[in-house]
């Protein structure tokens, strides 16, 4: 499927180690859900993992209020489902923050340990972005975050900044940093396939290609890339941009590209593709990119696209600060663009995209980072250690309770 595969990659590795794994998740559908006779669960087995799906109408293009309603709906049905599954440990991964509730409910009713993963720091990010303005809603979200951290045997976070945010709320919380990962085997670039891809795109050929692959949501601010493309066309008309994804701002980004006279000439936009098709696309790119809006709370992110580029050995350009910017500056694996000035970002891209020596060195540095620090298998070992440690510690606590076996 398109999108991040973190949960599946962790789950299938757990299953391969002999653990029995159940995933309770949403089966995202569109408006055709209204035509279905009733809501119902379905169950499949994927790579040895038992997956429990419940249909929920949801998309990144929904208004924030409708997305909250979808979160609440899934929170209720997932709580019921999770409590019916026998387990030694329950693990919940957010966002949304409401996912913590099924984990806590199952933990309490089943009397088993609970591990919580924070993939975006809520409600802090939502508040700083202005999406969560109601004082009561802010307070309730804060209370929910505190509840999740207090009930978790351990909290997993994706970046140092997120760890700081969790500890700021609850200093006693045991916290482990496990960022998103680089899938080394998947992104081993096939040069023959890359040549075929480039030859199959009549607009591309041997021209430099800058790509963005991922969500076009409010947090991403992909309009930055279109504005940079306008300036870059003045500097180097051969450079091409390809934006691949979906989300709430898809039409806005497309309209901006059209208004600037860039659409289907300098900027092309494709819908989301399965992750299995990304290696060839990234392999064909000259520089990959990761974008977020200039809001410091977002700079603690751990975007999949960043690690996909590392795995593919492609230089990556980002328009934000934080730990990933520090990593690029230290390693030389990419560019840190001015977060507030797309024209200045375009100037940096124009220099990088034609510097063959820098492109080669940056690509090697990116692949080296993926191997040494961010390989999926390496980070899975850390993940399994947290789960086993929490399960053993939590079960020991529960076994001391009178009446428990």
Q: Render pLDDT for 118-133 as a digit per residue (tens, 0 to 9).
A: 998 888 888 888 777 8
Q: Of 116-125, 153-162, 249-258, 339-348, where does mean pLDDT reach its minimum?
A: 116-125
Inside any domain, residue 405: no
Q: What is the pLDDT of residue 403?
A: 32
Inside any domain, residue 97: yes
Count CB atoms within 10 A of the CB of residue 134.
Answer: 9
Helices (H), 55-159: 64-83, 100-110, 124-129, 135-151
Same domain, 158 and 214: no
Residue 355 reports pLDDT greater than 90: yes
Inside any domain, residue 109: yes
Same domain, 383 and 356: no
Same domain, 208 and 160: no
Number of folded domains in the chain?
2
Inside any domain, residue 186: no
Binned at pLDDT 50, 70 and 90, residue 28 comes out as confident
Query: Nearest to residue 29, comparing CAs of 45, 53, 65, 64?
Result: 53
Please tell me the distance from the alpha carbon of residue 400 to that of residue 405, in angstroms, as a whole number: 9
Supply angle C-alpha 339, 268, 333, rounded to 5: 45
Same domain, 169 and 99: yes
Same domain, 346 and 380: no
DSSP string, 120-138: S-TTHHHHHHTS---HHHH
Same domain, 164 and 235: no
Q: What is the pLDDT of residue 126?
A: 81
Supply angle C-alpha 288, 219, 147, rounded to 5: 120
Same domain, 146 and 209: no
pTM over 0.85: yes
Give residue 330's domain range: 191-372
Please tell me the distance from the alpha carbon of residue 348 to that of residue 285, in angstroms, as a whole number: 17
Mean pLDDT to the nearest integer, 214-220? 90
Q: What percent of the chain has pLDDT over 70?
A: 93
Same domain, 143 and 245: no
Binned at pLDDT 50, 70 and 90, residue 402 comes out as very low
Q: What is the pLDDT of residue 95?
A: 79
Please tell me the distance from the alpha carbon of residue 118 to that of residue 161, in angstroms, as a whole number: 11
CA torsion sign for 338, 343, 347, 352 is positive
Residue 31 reports pLDDT greater than 60: no
Q: For 326-340, what is each residue's pLDDT tens digit?
A: 999 999 999 999 999
Inside any domain, residue 25: yes
Find residue 241's DSSP bridge partners.
210, 267
Inside any domain, residue 1: no
Q: What is the pLDDT of residue 346?
A: 98
Binned at pLDDT 50, 70 and 90, residue 37 comes out as very low
Inside any domain, residue 258: yes
Same domain, 387 and 367: no
- Higher-confidence residue of 256 and 1: namely 256
Mean pLDDT to the nearest integer, 186-203? 92
Residue 318 reports pLDDT greater than 80: yes
Inside any domain, residue 235: yes
Residue 32 reports pLDDT greater than 60: no
Same domain, 332 and 206: yes
CATH number at residue 284: 3.40.50.2000
- Looking only at the bridges linking them, the beta strands covering 42-46 and 49-57 are antiparallel
Tokens of 363: 């690509």
């Amino acid at each position: 499927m398109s999108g991040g595969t973190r949960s599946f990659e962790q789950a299938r590795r757990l299953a391969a180690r002999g653990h029995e794994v159940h995933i309770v998740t949403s089966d995202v559908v569109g408006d055709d859900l209204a035509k279905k006779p009733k809501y119902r669960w379905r169950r499949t087995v994927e790579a040895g993992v038992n997956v429990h799906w419940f249909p929920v109408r949801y998309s990144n293009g929904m208004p924030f209020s409708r997305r909250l309603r979808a979160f609440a709906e899934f929170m209720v049905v997932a709580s019921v489902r999770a409590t019916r599954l026998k387990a030694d440990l329950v693990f919940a991964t957010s966002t949304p923050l409401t996912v913590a509730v099924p984990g806590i409910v199952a933990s309490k009713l089943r009397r088993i340990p609970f591990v919580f993963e924070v993939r975006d720091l809520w409600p802090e990010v939502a508040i700083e972005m202005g999406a969560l303005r109601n004082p009561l809603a802010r307070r309730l979200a804060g209370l929910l975050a505190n509840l999740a951290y207090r009930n978790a045997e351990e909290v997993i976070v994706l970046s140092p900044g997120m760890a700081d945010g969790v500890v700021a709320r609850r200093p006693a919380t045991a916290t482990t940093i496990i960022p998103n990962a680089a899938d080394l085997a998947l992104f081993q670039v096939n040069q023959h396939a890359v040549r075929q891809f480039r030859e199959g795109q009549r607009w591309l050929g041997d021209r430099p290609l800058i790509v963005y692959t991922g969500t076009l949501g409010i947090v991403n601010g992909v309009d930055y890339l279109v504005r940079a493309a306008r300036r870059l066309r003045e500097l180097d008309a051969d450079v091409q941009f390809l934006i691949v994804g979906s989300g709430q701002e898809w039409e806005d980004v497309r309209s901006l590209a059209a208004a600037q006279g860039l659409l289907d000439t300098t900027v092309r936009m494709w819908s989301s593709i399965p992750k299995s098709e990304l290696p060839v696309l990234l392999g064909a790119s000259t520089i990959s990119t990761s974008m977020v809006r200039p809001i410091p709370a977002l700079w603690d992110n751990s975007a999949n696209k960043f690690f996909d580029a590392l795995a593919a050995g492609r230089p990556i350009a980002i328009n934000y600060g934080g730990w990933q910017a520090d990593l690029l500056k230290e390693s030389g694996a990419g560019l840190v663009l001015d977060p507030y000035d797309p024209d200045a970002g375009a100037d940096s891209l124009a220099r990088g995209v034609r510097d063959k020596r820098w492109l080669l060195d940056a690509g090697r540095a990116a692949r080296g980072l993926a191997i040494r620090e961010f390989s999926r298998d390496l980070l899975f070992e850390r993940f399994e250690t947290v789960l086993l440690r929490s399960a053993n510690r939590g079960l020991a606590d529960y076994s001391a309770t009178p009446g428990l076996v």
